[in-house]
């Protein structure tokens, strides 16, 4: 097809001192798709999406978003351009209210309608809008973290381990929300240690090992690939 990718990462290298966390990784996402980066703890997944969202400065390589070079663009600028990350560990401000946390997601636009849309999607947040966010359960805090990102009306959302530490029933709910976000037209880049689950939701997958892409392909093909299943998905 002739559709241009909304996100293109070419030969990305991320280092921390002498640690080479990401070694020449390339991948792309088509508009409206859900792609996933899976791999073990320490494989480099967070480093990659932190580089894309402007939190970490790459050593080399090139990142293109909607055709523009964003390799050195800072995170706060990217949020205004529609590229938003839901960070690992949720990073909710527990002493602020739920409403204040949502307002932070839209600090650059003060978009009350966007906050209202989040309340409609997550009624549990609306009911407790004036309570400290720290009073929410882990699953509710994940919904708040996702809601806070949605307030910025992203065209591309990056999610870092959204299912981490959550009970299976809540994981189902988180994945349902992720699939809804994608259905609404937002492109999703999902980083997960829960590889099987992530690949079931994704169109396309990249399996990372030691900072490199070990396998890539249509998510359904990766799930059917014995080498991938044995090495990365557990048997």
CA angle, 53 then 136 then 144, to 5°: 30
Site string for ligand ATP, 86-125 (x = CB under 6 A): --x-------------------------------------
Sign of CA dihedral 56, 45, 189, 142: negative
Among the listed residues 25, 45, 52, 141, the single contact to ligand ATP using CB under 6 A: 45
Q: Which two three-digit tokens encode residue 188?
A: 């999703």
> 16 or 107, CB closer to ligand ATP?
16
Query: For residues 90-105, b (16+ Cβ closer than 10 Å) or e, as one string?
Result: bebeeeebbbebbbeb
Site for ligand ATP in 190-209 (CB under 6 A): 193
The CA-based diameter of the chain, rounded to the nearest angstrom, is 50
The distance of closest approach from Cβ of residue 218 to ligand ATP in the complex, given in angstroms and rounded to an integer, is 22
Region near ligand ATP per CB under 6 A, out of 1-9, 39-47, 142-150, 174-182: 39-47
Supply the Cα-derived Rg of the chain in whole angstroms.
17
Q: Is 46 among the residues that bind ligand ATP (CB under 6 A)?
A: yes
Q: Is 85 among the residues that bind ligand ATP (CB under 6 A)?
A: no
From 128, 97, 100, 130, select the one nearest 115 (Cα to Cα). Answer: 100
Q: How far is CA 112 from CA 50, 100, 103, 151, 224, in A?
A: 28, 12, 8, 9, 45
Cα(78)–Cα(172) distance, rounded to whole angstroms?
Answer: 29
The DSSP bridge partners found for residue 8 are 28, 64
The distance of closest approach from Cβ of residue 132 to ligand ATP in the complex, given in angstroms and rounded to an integer, is 27
The distance of closest approach from Cβ of residue 198 to ligand ATP in the complex, given in angstroms and rounded to an integer, is 12
Q: Is 21 among the residues that bind ligand ATP (CB under 6 A)?
A: yes
Binders of ligand ATP: how many residues, by CB under 6 A?
13
The distance of closest approach from Cβ of residue 42 to ligand ATP in the complex, given in angstroms and rounded to an integer, is 4
Q: Is 19 among the residues that bind ligand ATP (CB under 6 A)?
A: yes
152 by DSSP, 3-state: which? Answer: coil
Region near ligand ATP per CB under 6 A, out of 45-53, 118-126, 130-138, 198-206: 45-53
Q: Is 43 among the residues that bind ligand ATP (CB under 6 A)?
A: yes
Q: Which residues bind ligand ATP (CB under 6 A)?
A: 16, 19, 21, 39, 41-47, 88, 193
């Amino acid at each position: 097809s002739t559709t241009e990718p909304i996100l293109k990462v070419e030969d990305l290298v991320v280092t921390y001192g002498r640690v080479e966390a990401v070694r020449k990784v390339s991948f792309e996402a088509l508009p409206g798709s859900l792609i996933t980066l899976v791999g073990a703890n320490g494989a480099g997944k967070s480093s990659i999406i932190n580089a894309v969202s402007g939190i970490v400065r790459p050593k080399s390589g090139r990142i293109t978003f909607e055709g523009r070079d964003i390799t050195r663009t800072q995170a706060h600028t990217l949020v205004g351009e529609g590229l938003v990350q839901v960070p690992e560990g949720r990073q909710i401000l527990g002493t602020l209210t739920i409403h204040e946390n949502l307002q932070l997601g839209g600090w650059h636009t003060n978009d009350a309608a966007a906050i209202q849309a989040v309340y409609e999607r997550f009624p549990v947040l609306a009911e407790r809008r004036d309570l400290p966010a720290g009073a929410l359960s882990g699953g509710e805090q994940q919904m708040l973290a996702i809601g806070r990102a949605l307030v910025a009306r992203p065209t591309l959302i990056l999610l870092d381990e959204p299912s981490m530490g959550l009970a299976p029933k809540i994981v189902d709910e988180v994945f349902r929300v992720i699939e809804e976000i994608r259905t609404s037209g937002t492109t999703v880049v999902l980083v997960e240690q829960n590889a099987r689950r992530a690949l079931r939701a994704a169109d396309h997958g990249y399996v990372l090992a030691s900072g490199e892409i070990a396998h890539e392909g249509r998510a359904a093909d990766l799930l059917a690939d014995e080498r991938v299943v044995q090495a990365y998905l557990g048997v």
